[in-house]
Structure 1
């Protein structure tokens, strides 16, 4: 059995292995190399923590297992090629092993004063070697560099190094001005000494937490125009990060806010943070919690394209567009895009953000971006439809064809598909009319001759009140014709019916429904049958049949309770697309009696926020 040395000392609190080994060598009247040889090992093997060498030293020094474990925990034990376990936490080696050795001169002087052999009593604390520690809490004194050595065997020869500076230590030449400890200092000391942490950072590995506090604090100080020195940065970062993810996200929001209300879409003050999390420790899982918080924030504000890497995560699809990125991808000018998106509700009319910071939800507005390049001007629309300029204007004026946008500066507002769909609807209703057959004229000529809006003529065709013909030798809309005599009779009857309606103070349900933009003969009837809106069933004296009619009071009651897209548009002047976007953004759903979908009818009581948003101020 290996005998315990006659002369031994107890390890001090927080003392490191090299420090204790040096004191044992001094106590036994030799240097560290000679002492190691006397033990049958080498000093290098002690520093490398060779298990056999450590066991031999511990046995000869009389160290019980718990003291040996504590000694090594304050020294740091290798846990991989570039990792060390320190106080139960994993650190990168360079955070604990540095050519520059620091200490508190007050602590060392207190240990040496009054001692006949001061080197036997002067100890190096393990926390002094930790990169995140820069202050002795006991003396409120900064840790100061004592010596610098590149070779560990020289650097960790503690007694030899202390002997060379002992006079200066005792005379106070290493002393500096004291400083006030921060909450960060107390937090780190408590976590290292007792493993206790009452902040949110207890959920994060210590080295990652220390590093992130430093990075975040420095970024915040730079943003404020203040000097980002180490102590101030760590204290500032800790004050934020210790309160958890919401607090961190708030700081990130401050760091990325631009003066125009948008977000900075370059790295800016976050560059060191992103470089550390995304490059230096890209594959380090201990930084995963902080990486996720930062990545989530950036994904919410940066217009990143699919396939871009953000802190080790490849974006599967684009989430945000800016005006600039959307313009580059679609080839559409930013002014045109801005007009479309503003009208559609993606932007406020007063949005003054710069193009690169004017962002919007890419998926929500992708259909609009896809549609814009296919829009055409009036000349192309007329050619596609086979219509004259006057005919196109009449159809637009009566709402038969609605341009995709009403922005006056946009020269290509039309969807050809709308025009072709309209023509297809007419085609299905038309009968062939030979080009030489007299008594037929175009819808536009009926409109001009009788003063009846083109929209009303088309409505009469759709209800079967007027027959529609098609001249096979004329392409498009201009080839559809109406019988002149039938049109004249229809106009006379329409005038009589309107007069009767006005005299009786009401109108038929079908006429009112169409005026409110409600399509489908059963849609409005469902409201009446369910008792949701008043109407009266009366005898039509001409047809001798019962029909539903609405008085002015009934109409007022409907308007008081309900509104449709047509009514909202008339009341606010907003385009249907803008209205739909506002309804969707506020989560307002259509009225569905008994779960039945009866179209775009809304309860007016639900529409207050929409109307308030759409009415110009």
Structure 2
């Protein structure tokens, strides 16, 4: 059966199916429900866009191919619909409230194509909750009727009659407002037009609602009460949120940073709810829609990277696998260290800036990785005295080891902020483990082994040298005294130590050795050096590390090749000393050095050879 064309008004491309059904019914002076009952149709099924029912209605009104040429809102679930393949949950629609543009209604009434009572029609864009402005007439949509009577629900023409009767007043009262970029974007998405915005990775309804919520928090603060906002305020919020989200995740993160900075100026306890406010409450408790998971991930990542959240903290059901930031408060809970000491130590090592000193414990933030070394050690700290007792080292060994860099404080004192050094138990344990290693207890056959300090004296070296030999595992024999602990328990072979700490030979003769070589006295050697007849220098003894006067070997050899004592020359020539000296004196050969300088007689060998070749044969 087909309806008489008289009862079929013009169908507009942007008209909703329920609007057109209502207008057809109005032509027959029936309500939409009564008309459908008369025609054997199910208005409820038509309202939900049931394909079979829509096809039957299209055939009834005489549409070609049995297709409705306007806009169909098709139900896909209990609270979900779709239009042009774009999903639209019930919350994103205004179906029970008839919103219209008064200028559009007036223009419809002035069109002579249809009977006057059915000229106005409902546009699908008026049902979209986030669209509140007519783009054609640049005016806000207004509520023409509230569709709360079950018998009149979704009956557009029936609801609009009282409004249409006062259309001139409504037009005169209409305000001017340009449609926002946000509204234009939402409409284009539902029309199926392509978009390059990052927001387009979300369904249109999700992109729209997110813009509105994030914009509301931008304009009215994190703790905005959504139910207190007017339609105009929601319109402004949508545009503001769109401007933020149009920059993608970076724009959203920038807004989250602003929210965090605003929170830092308050005195509230920290937490995602306090910082992200309405945005967090909405995503965490008011909707479980997975379409918003991308947004949850952005906020979760931001929270993990900018808030002192650890493995025990949670947001949107997720916990960080690794802590990025600590606060004084979270570090106190984790380590048990007093907040004041934490603040003092972290400030001293530069992890807390000067401008953070006045912040509360919860708002004083620092990077967890940078602070790990200090937080691991702060509660096991020892003073210098306690550290010496712990490693069982006699005074002043601990200062010797500190000066050599073998015993290291985890926190250095004497810097104007911290008075004393602090040592960590774990660092001292590592030092002792390296010192003792896998040393076995000493046996009866190893009595030659001595404690470190005894070996130091026997080898004429420093404590730090022996300790370094042990740490470097250069000593083949290391034992421990089972009756002692720590530093004092370590036993070493002094002879092995001596061989390893001996300095490089200086390449000269000591004065005692020079005496023996020249077969003369200390007094004579000192005089030769004093009057610069024999060159000497100061060098370090390779055994006892003490400075000593030496004569280089080549210097002494050259001296002995040139000079010789009278007694040595007499013995070598087989002559009596006095006879030889008189003989040389008679030949005009006198002592090489003045008697008032050198208390011994030296002759220059070349002069002796020249004066008396028989006394010293020419080589």
With normalisation by structure 2, the TM-score equals: 0.67
Distance in 2 separating the partners of 1:43 and 1:260: 56
**TM-aligned CA deviation for residue 302 of structure 1:** 2.1
1:355-394 equivalences in 2 (<5 Å): 355-362=361-368, 366=372, 369-394=375-400
Structure number with larger C-alpha Rg: 2
2:31 is matched with 31
1:243 corresponds to 2:253: no
2:136 is matched with 138
2:159 is matched with 161
- Does the C-alpha gap of structure 1 residues 139 and 465 become closer, same or farther in structure 2, counting only changes over 3 Å? closer
Which of the numbers 193, 213, 216 marks the counterpart of 1:215? 213
Which of the numbers 443, 450, 466 marks the counterpart of 2:453? 443
1:417 corresponds to 2:438: no
Give secondary structure in 2 for the equivalent of 1:84: strand
- Does the C-alpha gap of structure 1 residues 418 and 144 become closer, same or farther in structure 2, counting only changes over 3 Å? same
**TM-aligned CA deviation for residue 218 of structure 1:** 1.5
Q: Is the 8 A contact 2:95 2:127 kept in 1?
A: yes
Distance in 2 separating the partners of 1:316 and 1:490: 51
- Per-residue CA deviation, residues 263-289 of structure 1 (Å, 9 max, x unaligned), is 97543462221222222333x232222
Q: Is the 8 A contact 2:455 2:492 kept in 1?
A: no
Give secondary structure in 1 for the equivalent of 2:144: strand
Give secondary structure in 1 for the equivalent of 2:277: helix
1:267 is matched with 273
1:477 corresponds to 2:476: no
Which of the numbers 61, 78, 83 marks the counterpart of 1:81? 78
- Does the C-alpha gap of structure 1 residues 398 and 5 become closer, same or farther in structure 2, counting only changes over 3 Å? same
Which of the numbers 336, 339, 343 marks the counterpart of 1:331? 336
1:13-32 equivalences in 2 (<5 Å): 13-32=13-32
1:313 is matched with 318
Deviates more, 1:202-211 or 1:178-187: 178-187
2:110 is matched with 113
Q: Is the 8 A contact 1:305 1:315 kept in 2?
A: yes
- Does the C-alpha gap of structure 1 residues 58 and 493 become closer, same or farther in structure 2, counting only changes over 3 Å? closer
- Does the C-alpha gap of structure 1 residues 51 and 368 become closer, same or farther in structure 2, counting only changes over 3 Å? same
- Does the C-alpha gap of structure 1 residues 37 and 109 become closer, same or farther in structure 2, counting only changes over 3 Å? same
1:187 is matched with 185
- Per-residue CA deviation, residues 334-355 of structure 1 (Å, 9 max, x unaligned), is 3444455566675567754643
Distance in 1 separating the partners of 2:450 and 2:34: 122
1:299 corresponds to 2:304: yes
- Does the C-alpha gap of structure 1 residues 317 and 178 become closer, same or farther in structure 2, counting only changes over 3 Å? same
- Does the C-alpha gap of structure 1 residues 114 and 403 become closer, same or farther in structure 2, counting only changes over 3 Å? closer
Distance in 2 separating the partners of 1:249 and 1:505: 70
**TM-aligned CA deviation for residue 39 of structure 1:** 1.0
With normalisation by structure 1, the TM-score equals: 0.67
**TM-aligned CA deviation for residue 134 of structure 1:** 0.3
- Does the C-alpha gap of structure 1 residues 488 and 420 become closer, same or farther in structure 2, counting only changes over 3 Å? closer
1:441-590 equivalences in 2 (<5 Å): 443=453, 454-456=463-465, 458-459=467-468, 475-478=485-488
Deviates more, 1:26-35 or 1:139-148: 26-35
Aligned length: 501
Distance in 1 separating the partners of 2:275 and 2:66: 46
**TM-aligned CA deviation for residue 103 of structure 1:** 0.8
2:4 is matched with 5
Distance in 2 separating the partners of 1:127 and 1:450: 98
Which of the numbers 203, 207, 232 marks the counterpart of 1:205? 203
Distance in 2 separating the partners of 1:241 and 1:136: 23
Q: Is the 8 A contact 1:304 1:318 kept in 2?
A: yes
**TM-aligned CA deviation for residue 412 of structure 1:** 4.7
Which of the numbers 88, 93, 100 marks the counterpart of 2:90? 93
Q: Is the 8 A contact 1:308 1:315 kept in 2?
A: yes
2:557 is matched with none
**TM-aligned CA deviation for residue 90 of structure 1:** 1.0
- Per-residue CA deviation, residues 11-60 of structure 1 (Å, 9 max, x unaligned), is 11311122111211222343334422331235445434455543332111
**TM-aligned CA deviation for residue 488 of structure 1:** 11
1:41 is matched with 41
Give secondary structure in 2 for the equivalent of 1:85: strand
Q: Is the 8 A contact 1:265 1:356 kept in 2?
A: no
1:397 corresponds to 2:403: yes
- Does the C-alpha gap of structure 1 residues 475 and 235 become closer, same or farther in structure 2, counting only changes over 3 Å? closer
- Does the C-alpha gap of structure 1 residues 143 and 97 become closer, same or farther in structure 2, counting only changes over 3 Å? closer
Q: Is the 8 A contact 2:479 2:491 kept in 1?
A: yes
Q: Is the 8 A contact 2:450 2:492 kept in 1?
A: yes
